[in-house]
Amino acid sequence: MEAIQQASVAKKEILQIMNKTIAKPRAQKKENSPVVENVKVPISKRTRFIGPGGYNLKKLQAETGVTVSQLEEEVFSVFAPTPSAMHEAREFISEICKDDQDFILEFGAIYTATITEIRDSGVMVKLYQNMTPVLLHNSQLDHRKIKHASALGFEVGQEIQVKYFGRDPTDGRMRLSRKILHSPSSTVAQILSDRNSITMGNGDASS
């Protein structure tokens, strides 16, 4: 019996030593542990979220160190190396996707657009100060077929009149046309009825 009692005491002492030596599970994650979150981006804001040619998305990843991948049509997965990086990413996404004057544009109204960049596929324009530039494709610049915007003598900073046709329901891209304001009267009705004639982009168009 004495031997059993001694063994029991020795076992308790060993367990006490083990409890002091083995670290307990952390109640909270490390401050520098990776974080993954899903972010919902409505179709109407997807072009703004990604940016012309993926500019905003690349900037987000470069400045915060996060990695972004699309899971569903309106859902993106954001992987951040640290919680602080995720916090920066949230602020960045909130800023570029916040509501602005875009929602008060009137369908069918004519606006003054400023050319911010000239590309092979068209010109990048914006209708107001904080707007992310959108592509006004060559096919919507003039009723004549042109291969490059330079054929019309356009320059960066120049203001042009465009007509607003809302956003494409499939990808949220803004639809603008200068062509319809300069088309011969005989073709205006045809252009209005052809929804596919309004070709827009977010800056990654190949032609």
* pLDDT tens for each residue of 21-78: 555 555 555 667 899 999 988 887 887 788 777 888 898 999 999 999 989 888 999 9
Residues 126 and 89 in one domain: no
Asked if the structure places residue 22 within a domain, the reply is no
Range of the domain at 195: 102-201
pLDDT for position 45: 81
pLDDT for position 42: 85
Query: Which of the listed residues 76, 98, 120 is the one where a domain comes to its end?
Result: 98
Asked if the structure places residue 17 within a domain, the reply is no
| Measured distance CA(139)–CA(149) in Å, rounded | 10
Asked if the structure places residue 148 within a domain, the reply is yes
* pLDDT tens for each residue of 129-181: 777 788 899 999 998 888 898 889 999 999 999 999 988 776 677 899 999 99
Residue 186 in this model has a pLDDT that exceeds 50: no
- Tell me the CATH number at 132: 2.40.50.140
Total domain count, the chain: 2
Mean pLDDT of 168-196: 68
- Tell me the CATH number at 80: 3.30.1370.10
Q: Which residue in 197, 199, 68, 203 sits closest to 124, CA to CA?
A: 203
Q: Which residue in 60, 146, 131 sits closest to 99, CA to CA?
A: 131
